Amino acid sequence: MITPNSVEDKGSFYVSYNALDVSIYGDVTTALVYGQMEQFYILKGDHRDAYSQIQSDLFEDYLAYYIRNNNQQHDFSSSLPEKYLQMKNDTTDQGAE
């Protein structure tokens, strides 16, 4: 029996944990999936607990976590849209405060 990814649906996006395709991804992965599978922001490892600690259902708050952890970004991740590149810079700058 094949177990599907675990999914936490947030409406316009969802968080998907994949422990099945290690042979493809090289590790378990946690993806922030925007829209109808339009964009995949994939981190290596299990980030479900960290995502569940976010006290909001706003996509931008989840994306901020992804950006803060970009050192674990998987090569199969979608590129950030231009409108979020400034967010990446802002998040990096906050770490210097």
Domain positions in the chain: 6-92
Q: In this structure, how many other beta carbons lie within 10 angstroms of the beta carbon of residue 56?
A: 10
How much is the pLDDT for 56? 94
> What band does 94 get if pLDDT is binned at 50, 70 and 90?
low
**Cβ proximity of 45 and 27 under 8 Å:** yes
Average pLDDT over residues 57-63: 95
What value does the mean pLDDT of the chain take? 88
| 0.85 exceeded by pTM | no
Q: How much is the pLDDT for 91?
A: 58
Q: Burial letters for 59-86: b for 16+ Cβ neighbours within 10 Å, e otherwise?
A: beebbbbbbeeeeeebeebeebeeebee
Higher per-residue confidence, 36 vs 96:
36
